[in-house]
Amino acid sequence: MTMKKVFLICILVLAAFLRLYNLTALPDINADEAAIGYNAYSILQTGKDEHGNPFPIHFQSFGDYKPGLYFYIVVPFVSILGLNDLAVRLPGAILGIGTVFLVWLLARRLFPKIGWFPEVAALFLAISPWHIHFSRGGWEVNAAGFFIIFGVWSFIKGLEEKKWFYASIALFIASLYTYHAARIITPLLISVLFWVYREKLLWVKQKFVLQKKVLIWAAVGIFLTIPLLIDFVGPAGLSRASGVGLFADEGPFWKANEQRGEHDNIHGKLAVFLHNRPLNYGIAFFENYAKHFDGKFLFFLGDEIQRDKVPRFGQMYLIDLIFLLIGFIFITRNFSRWKIIIAWLIFAPIPAALTFQSPHALRAQSMVIPLVMISAYGAVILFSWLSNHIKPKLLLFSCYLVLITFLFWDFTRYLHEYHVYMAKTYNFSSQYGVKELVEYIKKDGEQFSQIIVTDRYDQPYILFLFYMKYPPDKFQGDHTLTPRDKFGFSTVRGFDKYKFLSVNWDEMRNLRDTILVGAPNEINDIDANITKRIYFPSGDVAFEIVPL
Amino acid sequence: MHQVIKDHKLLIVALLIAAILRLWGLSVNPPHLASDEATLGYNAYSILETGRGEHGQFLPIIFQSFGDWKPGLYIYLDVPFIAVFGLNELATRLPAAIFGIMTVWFVYLLVGELFWGKLWAGKVQIFTAFFLAISPWHIHFSRGAWEAGVSLSLTVLAIYLFFRAIRGRPTFLIFSAVVFGLTLLTYQGAKLSTGVVLLALAILFARDIVKLPRVVITKSVLAGFILVLPVLFSFFDGKVGRLAVFSVFSYPRLQGDTEEILRLGEITKNSWQYVVYHSEPLHLAKGVLERWMNHFSPRFLVFQGDWSSKRHNIPDGGMFLFVDALFLVLGFIFLARQKNDKKILFLWFWLLLAPLSAAFSRDSIHAVRSLNMVIPLTILLGLGAYSLFDFLKGKRTGKFFAAVVLVCYIGSFSYYLDQYWVHAPVRGSQFWQYGYKQMVQKVNAVEDQYDEIVVEQSYNQPYIYFLFYQKYPPQKWQAQIKDSYVPSPFGDVGLFTKLDNITFRAINWSGDKLLSKKLFVVFDNTVTVPRSDLADTDRFKYIDQIDFLNRKIGFLLLGVK
């Protein structure tokens, strides 16, 4: 066992600890995770999803047609562990830990000669805020990231050992079935891989020859993608594009109108040529894309969506700023080995930029792999430069100490913000309080014939199903989905004796034999007989419960 | 002479383009004189007529102006133009425009020095000169009496002179020192931005400087030092209120934010968690770093520009053209691939440190205080363009791609021109204090019908427009300024309360409408005058209103009979 191996094992243990510690409780299960868990449970019990579709490729869920592979990965966990928080999250965490190991493998394969680089890259991914965040929870994107990096590594390894080359098809295809963004990133990455290794794959003695192994690879790949393509032509594809696509935002369109309005002749050739929808949407795309490289996003504030962020923290550590800069400068001098990683970095934000919410840490999560590798490269270069140029031992040691202390401080600051502040700062980032609410209602709601729950927070019905382990066969036949709203989401307004509505106290106060669960301000009568309040971690009131 | 023109044909073309872009319609766009411009013009007029600044000091080096103590070189540069063209917009803005044009030449010289001895230096020189000539950021601050633009121009010249000095012309060091000194006499922010440049030069080129003759070094240091002495004095004199107002250090974290951190974390200000992770200095340091990063963000450079002010760039566009993003990246790659000689290191230093004075200031982004960035970034553009065209040269599809890039570039530049000439005036007129000129003219036409004219007070400094557009005799103003000027208690910009029978004060319409024989000039968005009062023609006379260029109401002129 060499030093490096020991170090690697330590890194993996650290990665596991950071991803598994308090996994079930922080943050609470959100609606999407509950949907994954409950649908997996439904598949396990009945072979159909919650809405009764047999073995779907995309799960209809809230009308957003979630890509299905992660659901199927969760199925065995549900069957062993039961339907609970851990079963939904454990696969994600394990794949996250696996990704750390794969970064080590990939770094070693691409750059076998740079000292401690693979270990540092693995360490940086192990402690990466961006990667930890989406490893802790049932996030499809994280699973897709695992398949992509595994696919890239086995593709390269496969140049020497055929079996890995074939394995890479399965892995790349798996990523397509796991997450939307992968459907853009993976094909682009595959083309770059073929281009970079064209001499080994497409050329024989300087002549273009379609080798048998490449043909098999492509044929199997296309064959396995067909079900996905067929499914995507249906409502699954449409729902996604219309809900979150760039064109769902009318901003650029109105901007063109405003701009034309400022011309004397609003239908003049110039006004029409310079201010039109294609141009403004094009600019919006590039602007969205570029936002993913903004220092504010990467190092200071992170994503704007509360669910995807930690307070006062960027997607990376502050010191990564220095490492990345050095890394980039040296990559320009040594570009040929970095082609794949740089291409990956360039492609990764494209899917997010095609949607109107940018920057988007979740959809662009794949960026974290190239960024961490570049940062690690910069760090290795900086450290070796220091050791070559600073001769006095003590001074060298203090330089190391300063850098490591700074990183360590930022790392503990992240843990502090994550474990102490995240849940308390963002009330609505996850479905906090619902678990307690369901327990309470299960206990005290028996004798009531109707239970009305506020629809203020995301999709309450799925969390009730999830926490109550409500029999899927009963639910499948006993509910209706509402029509989709403008973002493409539907919900279920009720099943059994549960109803999910916005609570109107003046109308509902006269109901009988009912438990009413409202959000604060919904029940606004001082005389209301509130028997229980459920709180957010911050101490703010989440639910007020009134038996009528 | 013919030979000179022949050798520098392309440079001359670049200068011509620069001149057209900086001089064309200079008095009508920007659409109005900002108060800072007007005060420069009027003080120059005052110097011309009386030899004194508006506050009555004889040939001051630092002008008190609104109370912000402006270093005065711009005003002196403006004097001859005022003498020739009279007191108007064109004359006020010309020095900035002319220095802006000359900067194109200076940057050409500087690039030649930076890459001296490199085969590609000549081409990069030309590319850079062209890029600066059409640079939206640089054009913007050449059009309008921006002291920062002149200061930048001098900085570029001074750096060139410095490099020339260490490359065989030792005496240039003295000129360099003098020109560096002049930047401090031009612009407040130069203290830091020139300081950064000097520091980088001193560290990187210490060995080269030491090799120069002692006499030259002594003379240079002395010359520079004597020149900036007045600025240093003013610094110790307490005339730094402005600095306190703009410095980030004057703005601690909001009380509420701190309380929430303490409450949610269940800690106190003495807990180790607070000290290590949340304390005020850390918050401040992060803020500075964040501001610094903001100046390298695509949002600032390419897409949106200075989001803290509508006066600092075009709407719906950044400090650079869209297509420049490509050249910036290519330029970065090209520069990163070069062997690190000292001059290239200097370029890196300058690029990284140029936004420093903006980073230490209140606003999250600031295109004026970070203006010096435009030079290293434009050099990156030059390098990027050179590397792209060099790469395409001789390639089979090279000409095709070059043509595509060129077409995109022309499209991008047309977009900029449209934004600057059509959209910027409409959307930004009120931020250029549009309306005061028109208001002064209208007041002049009717003022003898009223005892007193009451103009709503504002930090837009309405008084200066009366002085400027009435060409008010400076002697007369100097005689009454003491009674008019109310300094700010914070040492920042003060206010001026009256000029002859014009009073500048807050207007309270419900009380003021009971007075008689007065003319009121109110800002429609701060004072609401009931429309029913306008109909009451027995007591009030609606004289006129002035709209901003976006057709929103700006001023109302109302007479009380």
Tens of pLDDT along B506-519? 998 888 888 889 99
Say yes or no: B400 and B357 in one domain: yes
Nearest to B277 among A294, A413, A538 (CB): A413
B302 touches chain A (CB under 8 A): yes
**Interchain contact, B297 vs A299, CB within 8 Å:** no
Question: Given this model, what pLDDT does residue B62 score?
Answer: 92
B387 and B449 fall within a common domain = no
Report pLDDT digits (tens) over B55-112.
Answer: 999 999 999 999 888 999 999 999 999 999 999 999 999 999 999 999 999 999 999 9
Residue B384 near residue B291, CB atoms below 8 Å: no
Query: Nearest 5°: phi and psi at A216?
Result: -60, -45
pLDDT band at B297 (very low <50, low <70, confident <90, very high): very high
Asked if the Cβ–Cβ distance from A270 to B286 is below 8 Å, we say: no
Q: Are residues B295 and B307 in the same domain?
A: yes
Average pLDDT over residues B246-260: 86
**Listed residues B400, B428, B456: the one ending a domain:** B428
pLDDT of residue A185: 97
- Considering only CB atoms, A274 lies closest to which of B286, B293, B414, namely B414
pLDDT band (50, 70, 90) for residue B240: low
Q: Angle formed by the axes of helices A368-389 and A117-126, to 10°?
A: 130
Interface test with B, best of A276, A296, A411 (most B CBs within 10 A): A296
The per-residue pLDDT for B33 is 97
* Domain containing residue B525: 432-560
Nearest to residue A171, comparing CAs of A186, A188, A193? Answer: A186
Is the Cβ–Cβ distance between B459 and B495 less than 8 Å?
Answer: yes
Distance CA B305, CA B427 (A): 15
Is residue B153 domain-resident?
A: yes
Is the residue at B71 inside a domain? no
Residue A290 to residue B414, Cβ atoms within 8 A: no
Looking at the fold, whether B379 and B523 belong to one and the same domain comes out as no
Distance in Å, alpha carbon of B260 to nearest chain A alpha carbon: 9
State the smallest CA–CA distance between residue A536 and chain B in angstroms: 12
* A290/B325 Cβ within 8 A: yes
Chain A environment of B304 (Cβ under 8 Å)? 287
Give the pairing type, strands A207-208 and A203-204: antiparallel
- The two tokens of residue B109 are 């010289």
| Greater model confidence, B258 or A526 | B258
Q: Which of B401, B335, B314 is nearest to B137 (CA)?
A: B314
Tell me whether residues A262 and B426 touch, CB distance under 8 A.
yes
Q: Which pTM was predicted?
A: 0.95
Place of tokens 């190991």: A101
Interface of A with B in 279-308 (CB under 8 A): 283, 286-287, 290-291, 293-296, 299-300
Q: Give the closest of A255, A274, A329 to B415, CB-based.
A: A274
Answer yes or no: are the C-beta atoms of B390 and B331 closer than 8 Å. no
Whether B159 and B18 map to the same domain: the answer is yes
Among candidate residues B368, B394, B428, the one where a domain is terminated = B428
Cβ-nearest to B333 among A295, A318, A332: A332
Q: Give the mean pLDDT of chain B.
A: 93
| Neighboring chain A residues of B332 at a CB cutoff of 8 Å | 328, 332
Q: Is the pLDDT at B197 greater than 80, yes or no?
A: yes
Task: Give the residue from B257, B262, B299 with the most A CB atoms within 10 Å of its CB, the best one to mutate.
Answer: B299
Walk across the sheet containing A494-495 and list its strands. Answer: A494-495, A498-501, A450-454, A514-518, A541-547, A532-535
Of A291, A295, A424, the CB nearest to B294: A295
> Is the Cβ of B414 closer than 8 Å to some Cβ of chain A?
yes
Say yes or no: A486 contacts chain B, CB-CB below 8 A: no
Query: With contacts defined as CB-CB under 8 Å, which chain B residues touch A345?
Result: none
Of A294, A300, A416, the CB nearest to B299: A294
Alpha-carbon distance B443 to nearest alpha carbon in chain A (angstroms): 30
pLDDT in tens, B262-278: 999 999 999 999 999 99
Best to test chain B binding among A287, A299, A319 (most B CBs inside 10 Å): A287
> pLDDT exceeding 90 applies to what percent of chain B?
82
Q: What is the pLDDT of residues B112-128, one digit of tens each?
A: 999 999 999 999 999 99
Same domain, B452 and B417: no
For A495, the enclosing helix (H) or strand (E) is strand A494-495
pLDDT of B114 reads 97
Which of B29, B266, B271, B316 would you mutate first to test chain A, the one with the most A CBs within 10 A? Answer: B316
Segment B7-12 shows an average pLDDT of: 92
Interface probe for B, chosen from A331, A420, A535 (most Cβ of B below 10 Å), is A420
CA-to-CA dists, residue A271 to B17, B24, B412, B414, B423, angstroms: 24, 22, 14, 11, 11
C-alpha dist (Å) from residue A154 to A126, A147, A230, A357, B475: 21, 10, 28, 33, 85
pLDDT, residue A443, reads: 86
Of the partner residues A293, A300, A329, the one whose CB lies closest to the CB of residue B298: A293
Domain identity same for B173 and B294: yes
The answer to whether the beta carbons of residues A454 and A52 sit under 8 Å apart is no
Mean of pLDDT values over B520-531:
81
Chain B residue numbers with beta carbons less than 8 Å from the beta carbon of A538 are 264
Hey, are the CB atoms on B265 and A421 less than 8 Å from each other?
A: yes
Task: With respect to residue B12, please indicate whether it lies within any of the assigned structural domains.
Answer: yes
Based on the fold, state whether residues B417 and B450 are members of the same structural domain: no
Is residue A509 within 8 A of residue A537, CB to CB? The reply is: no
B residues 261-280 near A, CB within 8 Å? Answer: 261, 264-265, 273, 276-277
Nearest-CA distance A381 → chain B (Å): 15
Cα-based angle A70, A76, A81 (whole degrees, multiple of 5): 115
pLDDT digits (tens, 9 = 90+) for B321-363: 999 999 999 999 999 999 889 999 999 999 999 999 899 988 9
Q: Which chain B residue has its CA at the smallest distance from A423's CA?
A: B264
> Do B417 and B452 lie in a common domain?
no
Most B CBs within 10 Å: which of A254, A257, A274, A536, as the mutation test of the B interface? Answer: A274
Q: How confident is the model at residue B529 (pLDDT cuts 50, 70, 90)?
A: confident
Interchain contact, A296 vs B294, CB within 8 Å: yes
Residues B326 and B437 in one domain: no
Nearest chain A Cα distance for residue B295, angstroms: 9
| Cα separation values, B82 from A289, A427, B89, B183, B430, Å | 49, 62, 10, 22, 26
Residue B442 forms part of a structural domain: yes
Nearest CB neighbour to A294, from listed B276, B298, B423: B298
User: Side-chain half-sphere of A80: how many Cα atoms within 13 Å?
Assistant: 9
Residues B368 and B449 in one domain: no
Nearest to B418 among A270, A286, A328 (CB): A270
Q: Which of B365, B399, B428 is the last residue of a domain?
A: B428
CA distance B418 to chain A (A): 8
Q: C-alpha distances in angstroms, B543 versus A53, B273, B515?
A: 74, 64, 17
Per-residue model confidence as pLDDT tens for chain A (548 residues): 689 999 999 999 999 999 999 999 889 999 999 999 999 999 999 999 999 999 999 999 998 889 999 999 999 999 999 999 999 999 999 999 999 999 999 999 999 888 899 999 999 999 999 999 999 999 999 999 999 999 999 999 999 999 999 999 999 999 999 999 999 999 999 999 999 999 888 887 778 888 888 899 999 999 999 999 888 887 766 766 677 788 888 999 999 999 999 999 989 999 999 999 999 999 999 999 999 999 999 999 999 999 999 999 999 999 999 999 999 999 999 999 999 999 999 999 999 999 988 899 999 999 999 999 999 999 999 999 999 999 999 999 999 999 999 999 999 999 999 999 999 999 999 999 999 999 999 888 888 999 999 999 889 999 999 999 999 999 998 888 898 887 778 999 999 899 999 988 888 888 888 999 999 888 877 778 888 999 999 999 999 999 88
B420 lies in the same domain as B437: no
- Amino acid (one-letter) located at B220: S
Give the count of domains, chain B: 2
As a whole number of angstroms, the distance between CA B241 and CA B234 comes to: 11
